Structure 1
Amino acid sequence: MNLRSIGDMAQAFALNRQSVNLKQQMDRLTVELTSGQAADLTQHLSGNLLHLADVEHALVLQDSHRTAAREATVDATTMQTSLGFIQSLASDLANSAITVGFGSGGVPLSTLSTEAKGTLGSIIGALNTDVAGRALFSGSATDSTSLAPADQVLDEVRTAIVGATSAVAVLSELDTFFDTPGGAFETSIYQGGSSDLSAYQLGDGESVALDIRADDPVLRNLIKQTVLAALVDDPGLALGTEDRRALARSASEALLTQQDGLTALRADLGVAEARIDQSSTRIGAEITSLEIARNDLVSIDVFETAADLEQVQFQLETLYTLTARASRLNLVNFLS
């Protein structure tokens, strides 16, 4: 009986090792052919990964700018919608208030008061708008509601003007309440931050600020006039009918005047929206360019890879054939 020699064992080990190497090559080439990218980037780029690292870093940076631009787009659009809604409400209320006291076709004080209370609630609701939990009109205090509820506003103003005995006195108390620095409006009604929201960073030194707060003078005066219209029929006021009508007319005139201010706010916001849109286009183009550059660095020649894969498959099949023949020869030697 013949025993397998050391040479046979060495040959078997060599064939097995070559088989493992060929299988690994085939797996790598299959992955590369499927993905279109080199599996071993270090080898593919001859060890020079610096340029690829620069491109990938730039992609990460531009992706953060794209995220900021998307947030800015949503925030600006939502703010524009809120301001448009507020402007429409203010216009409607002004038109109602201006007809108070004009015969049978005029709006009664009680009706105006009811409408104004509803308008106040809607205005405050619009200014308390948030996106993903971030208050839009609260400046830097994005985690705080911009304004106190409408009922609280009315209660505090009612307390402030209860002693007024003329329309002029009521207007004076309202001015004190809303316009005094550090006064009731700033300490009790406005609940946002005293500084603006940080600008959105959009790359290439470009930034966009959406810095409209609920305590903006235009919006503050709008709230003041709406509150005035809401309280013209309040039984706690020691005023006659003419004084109440005078207050309604004053509110109407001021609300109409604030239309220009609201239009200016919306126009400024529109400019910001246009800049955000331009930046979004630029960022998208830069990301596309960087992705092309990255693909050029990591991509492989699919035709060459397919040919290499076919060659490896042929080598593996040949190796299996040789291994099978060697096994049969060894069996014959063993049996002879």
Structure 2
Amino acid sequence: MNFTSVGDLAQNLMLRRQGAGLKTDLTRLTQELTTGKRQDISSHVGGDFSALGSLKAAVRRLDAFSQARADFGIRLDATQTSLGSLQVAVSNYGTDILAASSLEQRDGLEAHAATAFSRLDQAVSYLNTQSAGRYLFSGTDSAQRPLASADDIMAALRPIASTATDVSDLNSMIDDWFFTPGAGFETAAYGGGSEVVKNVAISEQRKLDLPIKADDTVFRQMLRDLAMTALVAEDASVLSPSDERAVLAQVGENLIAVEDDLTALQRDIGLSQGVLEQEGVAADVERNSISLAVSEIENVDQFETASALEAVQYQIETLYVLTARTSQLRLTDFLR
């Protein structure tokens, strides 16, 4: 019969090696149970990290879009607030002026006209609103303030109004200043960009625009009518009282239309805010799904790890018992 014997030294080395291996497993399992993270991912994925890499890249893309949505959402919210403030500034103002001019209430008309400059100043202030260091109504050139001050606008218009000979002349010259390309408004009042904000990517599939600038027709019209009312209140022109009433009657009608236009702009911003929210919800669902897949690769099962840890502890205890018994063996004990 053949026997395979293991010497005392070899046996000791074998037990020490087994003990070291079990201690390594104990340390690994203890750390995995504590952190919940798998220590040897390479073995778990068979050395192929392509799937895990793709999942993490998808999470990074989703996080980038999430930040873009957050930034754009702040801008949309601030723009919506500014539009609401603008609407308050002109709310019912056009109706009041139109009613006072049609009833030929001189005192009432003058009282309403006297507030025109403060409303113009408010409108300019709201259109010069900043959010996170960017001007909301400057288009792509958000570092530049979009409008000159109300004082500067009035200073440019007074010399023009003083040369008007009648209602038609005054309206024509003021309209030219505000609406003619390359004229006063564009050279002396508007300082923002020439392009609107567009194609802001908020997800893989969706892009949004913010096509609103302080030089849009609706804002020019509002500023024009408030400035015109302020000019009348200052008697900056040589118009007769009846001509002034005619001017203010037209201003009242224009401001009523502007209020409707501002409501339409707020509606459009609200639609964009709704799309932003929907994309955010969809992205959260997708990110949670991908994060779960990553977690299944990187994280350990707590129950299985606890069971494996208990098994290793038992093996270590058994090894200690065997080592102790082996170390106590004597030749005389064997020969008895």
TM-score interval for Structure 1 and Structure 2 normalised by the shorter chain: 0.7 to 0.9
The 8 Å contact of residues 112 and 230 in structure 1, kept in 2 or not, is answered as no
Quote the residue 1:180 is aligned against: 180
| Farther-moved stretch of structure 1 (215-224 vs 51-60) | 215-224
The 8 Å contact of residues 29 and 308 in structure 2, kept in 1 or not, is answered as yes
Shift of 1:140: 0.3
Letter in 1 for 2:126: A
Structure 2 Cα separation of the partners of residues 287 and 213 of structure 1: 35
Quote the residue 1:83 is aligned against: 83
Q: TM-score, normalised by structure 1?
A: 0.85
Change (3 A) 1:14 1:214: farther
Structure 1 Cα separation of the partners of residues 273 and 195 of structure 2: 21
The 8 Å contact of residues 138 and 213 in structure 1, kept in 2 or not, is answered as yes
Q: TM-score, normalised by structure 2?
A: 0.85
Give 5+ residue unaligned stretches, structure 1: 1-6, 330-336
Q: Percent identity?
A: 34
Structure 2 Cα separation of the partners of residues 166 and 126 of structure 1: 33
| Farther-moved stretch of structure 1 (259-268 vs 170-179) | 259-268
Shift of 1:206: 1.0
Alignment of 1:33-48 (within 5 A): 33-48=33-48
Alignment of 1:127-276 (within 5 A): 127-276=127-276
Structure 2 Cα separation of the partners of residues 107 and 113 of structure 1: 9
Letter in 2 for 1:37: K
Three-state SS of the structure 1 residue aligned to 2:29 is helix
Letter in 2 for 1:218: V
Letter in 1 for 2:303: F
Shift of 1:161: 2.5
Structure 2 Cα separation of the partners of residues 65 and 74 of structure 1: 14
Shift of 1:11: 8.4
Quote the residue 1:334 is aligned against: none
Structure 2 Cα separation of the partners of residues 289 and 146 of structure 1: 44
The 8 Å contact of residues 134 and 143 in structure 2, kept in 1 or not, is answered as yes
The 8 Å contact of residues 93 and 119 in structure 1, kept in 2 or not, is answered as no
Letter in 1 for 2:210: L
Quote the residue 1:3 is aligned against: none
Three-state SS of the structure 1 residue aligned to 2:211 is coil
Shift of 1:84: 2.3
The 8 Å contact of residues 165 and 238 in structure 1, kept in 2 or not, is answered as yes
Quote the residue 2:67 is aligned against: 67
Shift of 1:139: 0.7
Structure 2 Cα separation of the partners of residues 296 and 39 of structure 1: 13
Change (3 A) 1:261 1:27: same
Structure 1 Cα separation of the partners of residues 198 and 11 of structure 2: 72
Shift of 1:106: 5.3
Alignment of 1:257-296 (within 5 A): 257-296=257-296
Quote the residue 2:118 is aligned against: 118
Three-state SS of the structure 2 residue aligned to 1:168 is helix
Three-state SS of the structure 2 residue aligned to 1:237 is coil
Alignment of 1:20-31 (within 5 A): 21-31=21-31
